[in-house]
Structure 1
Amino acid sequence: MAPQRAVVGVSVSYNYDDSGRKLTKNSNCTIRQYVDGIEYNGNTIDIIHTEEGVAQNNSGNYSYHYNLTDHLGNVRYTFDIYNGAVRRLQADDYYAFGKKRSVSPVGLDNKYLYNGKEVQDELGEQYDYGARFYDPIIVRFSTIDSLSEKSNPQSGCSYVANNPILLNDSAQRSRIYCSEELAKTSTNSAWKRMDFLYSC
């Protein structure tokens, strides 16, 4: 059964394949398709994802937008090259658990922000982590981690063991990943004792 959320005046449903990859989002009768890094708005290619950013469809012409990210994959700046110079399109700051602190767009609305995850505006700015949706307002996932009994002694809905400055939840469920550099250089015995929580 495809997940559905109820928000006043909005109807949104999602379809996934057997591996958990999102295939479509149907929001207020608008269908968005996700196919191997390409997003279709109806039958038109809207966005092509690359390692550095996206190629965005602008009335049939594609413009390239580059993203600068921090150590957790949070998009901080989105820019393009205009007349041979760098032009800032959007700047984003976040509170520790992902709530947008300030956004300064110049005609751009980048939906891939905190941890590089897609914002679901229809759901009150929740982030789509694949297996679950994360709400930065309440600092929780919307559903319980199906693997929480096996590894994480905290709440099944908690985010990154309450340590969002060092960790992100790139796996969407149960396993919490940290910076490889931190794992290599850490001499903190408390960090080592918490090894059951963190998969570095």
Structure 2
Amino acid sequence: MLNEPAISHHKLLQLVNELVPLDAESQTLIQSLFRPVFLPRHTRLVEPGQIARQLYFINAGYVRVSTLEDGEEVTTHLNCPPGFITSFESFTRQEPATNSVECLTDSALLAITRPDLDLLYAHSHHLTEFGRLIFEQSIRYNEQRIKDLMVLTAEQRYLKLLRQHPSIIQNVPLQHIASFIGIKPESLSRIRRQIIS
């Protein structure tokens, strides 16, 4: 488990401040509404059929979103710090989730409920704008991911993931990485052998 002092609001406040002006009152409100949470690896944040009650900001650790397709678990997202994670459709609509969200490593998170997030948005138009910008970033990321799956080879997708997140290989099991880039674990093992040799 991570030690309690490892969690602060610094990364979150820095991210907000990079996108919108952040006054002292808004900063204090963010710190009061985002609650520090320490969770061990393999903790499920959201289960299928459960309503996602919280949005999480990843301070440290790796978190995976997966879904069942034809009885097989498929990794749809791998998130590392800093970033937001939850079952987004469930969280925004407050309906039962169709996917699961799991900590792959010990994780230091900041959690906020849907009512508290709405309170944050109502407090300041800058914070509403921050939410909109994060949503737009998420859409662009998903569009690029779909394009990569269609255009790049499996090896190119793997190398791009390593370039963007070099520490992922030490923190995420290979079967989840393989699933995330749309290939079987044995294909990823073959790609890794070719790269090394």
Query: Does the alignment reach a TM-score above 0.5?
Result: no
Q: Which structure is higher in RCO with an 8 Å CA cutoff and minimum separation 6?
A: 2
* TM-score, normalization by structure 1: 0.30
* TM-score, normalization by structure 2: 0.30
| Structure with the higher helix share, 1 or 2 | 2
